[in-house]
């Protein structure tokens, strides 16, 4: 039975767009394989792991002395911290592309929604999150939106405070630039 679960050697490029998904799938298959091995055999999980990773990935894990440490090193390399704010932005702005069926579009929306960290909440909390999402999606300033999307999670009130501060910084910066240009022009005219 365990020979059918044996994971292939993974050579996932940590920089590829789908690296996290491929690594998670490989890791889950590896865990199923280890669980299927007779525990009386006392398998060396670290040795099994090292035997089923590419040379490039072995370099990441070679300093590990335990299986848990090796998995932690790989996980840190492959699993990136997700931004709930950006995930909800992607969900809110997703449009059906030409040539994509409605079923494929729905599957895409479900995939995007799974990254949004939805939790049980009250109607007031849901309303606040919807306002926050629309606030970020609908704002005219790409620079402010970009800065808000840097947050991993963000409630409405801190989003508004941060956006106001960024807007003021933009206004002050523009004013500073125009005053500097006026001063330079006045010095040249004198």
Q: Which residue has the higher pLDDT, 29 or 8?
A: 29
Q: DSSP assignment of 40-73, as one string?
A: GG---HHHHHHHTB-HHHHHHHTT-SSHHHHHHH
Q: How sure is the predictor about 1, in pLDDT bands with cuts at 50, 70 and 90?
A: very low
Q: What one-character DSSP code corresponds to residue 81?
A: P
Question: Percent of the chain having pLDDT more than 70?
Answer: 85
Terminus-to-terminus CA distance in the chain, angstroms? 89
Q: Are 10 and 54 contacting, i.e. CB atoms less than 8 angstroms apart?
A: yes
Predicted model pTM: 0.57
Q: How sure is the predictor about 73, in pLDDT bands with cuts at 50, 70 and 90?
A: confident
Q: How sure is the predictor about 185, in pLDDT bands with cuts at 50, 70 and 90?
A: low
Q: Which residues touch 71 (CB under 8 Å, ≥6 apart)? A: 27, 49
Q: Are 23 and 78 contacting, i.e. CB atoms less than 8 angstroms apart?
A: yes
Q: How sure is the predictor about 55, in pLDDT bands with cuts at 50, 70 and 90?
A: confident
Q: Which residues touch 73 (CB under 8 Å, ≥6 apart)? A: 60, 61, 63, 64
Question: Percent of the chain having pLDDT more than 90?
Answer: 32
Q: Which residue has the higher pLDDT, 33 or 190?
A: 33
List, in sequence order, every residue forming a beta bridge with 10; answer none if it has no partner.
53
Mean pLDDT of 177-187: 59
List, in sequence order, every residue forming a beta bridge with 146; answer none if it has no partner.
none
């Amino acid at each position: 039975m365990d020979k059918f679960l044996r994971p292939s050697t993974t050579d996932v490029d940590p920089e590829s767009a789908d690296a996290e998904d491929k690594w998670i799938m490989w890791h889950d298959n590896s865990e199923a394989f280890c669980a299927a091995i007779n525990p009386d055999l006392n398998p060396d999980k670290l040795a099994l792991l090292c035997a089923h990773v590419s040379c490039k990935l072995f370099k990441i894990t070679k300093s590990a002395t335990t299986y848990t440490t090796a998995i932690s090193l790989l996980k840190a390399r492959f699993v990136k911290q997700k931004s709930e704010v950006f995930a909800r932005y992607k969900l809110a702005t997703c449009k059906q592309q030409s040539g994509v069926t409605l079923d494929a579009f729905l599957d895409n929306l479900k995939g995007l929604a799974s990254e949004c960290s939805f939790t049980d909440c009250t109607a007031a909390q849901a309303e606040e999150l919807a306002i926050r999402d629309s606030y970020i999606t609908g704002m005219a300033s790409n620079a402010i939106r970009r800065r808000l999307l840097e947050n991993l999670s963000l409630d409405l009130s801190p989003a508004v405070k941060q956006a106001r501060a960024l807007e003021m910084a933009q206004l002050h910066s523009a004013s500073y630039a125009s005053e500097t240009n006026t001063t330079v022009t006045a010095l040249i005219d004198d």
